[in-house]
Chain A
Amino acid sequence: SQQGEEDPQALSIQEGENATMNCSYKTSINNLQWYRQNSGRGLVHLILIRSNEREKHSGRLRVTLDTSKKSSSLLITASRAADTASYFCATEKLTGNQFYFGTGTSLTVIP
């Protein structure tokens, strides 16, 4: 299965600390994306990294991709209480337009 897995399943940190979550997947991909889901809401896209990229930044977000290990990490720096949400990685198959999600990391940022 293409399904990815996030690690850890749950993460609780103090405001101001950094949060790191990891994603592993199984097959070759076009790109890997990270999404955020607030409770009771739809998913919102955060950042996309293509298979030929190794690192990408967007504001307080830093994403790395290691295609040899089939893994990615998402770093949120200087976390805020408003960052509390579930975070999912999604991989797009080489054939395109097929996105498979991981199991999600539930992040709680304590004020």
Chain B
Amino acid sequence: DTAVSQTPKYLVTQMGNDKSIKCEQNLGHDTMYWYKQDSKKFLKIMFSYNNKELIINETVPNRFSPKSPDKAHLNLHINSLELGDSAVYFCASSPRDEKLFFGSGTQLSVL
């Protein structure tokens, strides 16, 4: 069983569209994250949720809206996609003060 699973793995879309990426963890962790990895492999934290409550929102455009229906799920919705949004998006989860468990990533390509 995959511990942190995110879908879709690949997402190709046109500028201006709205898209969502889903993430689920079956590890019972309280905290979930979204990270963005650019073409230079720089990994930047976007959001952190603890027990469905937003903890971190790191200077991310408000076109990005995370939604956590329960502590096992953290979805990422992106409105009005731009070319610069093209990247790999990783979901992760962790127990407090411990290591991160990552999903396998969603490669987003905006054309």
Interface residues of A (CB under 8 A from B): 30-31, 33, 35, 37, 40-45, 48, 86, 88, 90, 92, 96-101, 103-104, 106
A104 touches B55 (CB 8 A): no
Q: Which stretch in B14-22, B66-74, B101-109 binds the other chain?
A: B101-109
* Pick from B41, B42, B97: contact of A96, CB under 8 Å: B97
* Cα distance, A98 to B43, chains bound together (Å): 13
* Cα distance, A41 to B90, chains bound together (Å): 10
* Cα distance, A48 to B98, chains bound together (Å): 8
* Cα distance, A33 to B98, chains bound together (Å): 9
Question: Given contacts A97-B50, A98-B55, is CB(A45)–CB(B99) below 8 Å?
Answer: yes
A97 touches B94 (CB 8 A): yes
How far does the Cβ of A34 sit from chain B's closest Cβ, in whole Å?
10
Residue ID in chain A nearest B91 by CB atoms: A42
Tell me which residues across on chain B come within 8 A of A86, comparing CB atoms: 41
Tell me which residues across on chain B come within 8 A of A48, comparing CB atoms: 98-99
* Cα distance, A67 to B24, chains bound together (Å): 35
Could you write out 25 A-B pairs with CB less than 8 Å apart? A30-B97, A33-B99, A41-B105, A42-B4, A42-B90, A42-B102, A42-B103, A42-B104, A43-B43, A43-B92, A43-B100, A43-B102, A44-B102, A45-B101, A48-B98, A88-B43, A90-B100, A92-B97, A96-B97, A97-B50, A97-B94, A97-B97, A98-B48, A104-B41, A104-B42
Question: Given contacts A41-B105, A43-B90, is CB(A99)–CB(B100) below 8 Å?
Answer: yes
Tell me which residues across on chain A come within 8 A of B104, comparing CB atoms: 41-42
Residue ID in chain B nearest A30 by CB atoms: B97
B27 within 8 A of A: no
* Cα distance, A85 to B61, chains bound together (Å): 31
* Cα distance, A90 to B90, chains bound together (Å): 15
Tell me which residues across on chain A come within 8 A of B101, comparing CB atoms: 45
Other 13 A-B pairs with CB < 8 A, given A43-B102, A98-B55, A99-B94: A35-B100, A40-B105, A41-B105, A42-B4, A42-B102, A43-B90, A86-B41, A96-B96, A97-B48, A98-B56, A99-B33, A101-B45, A103-B42
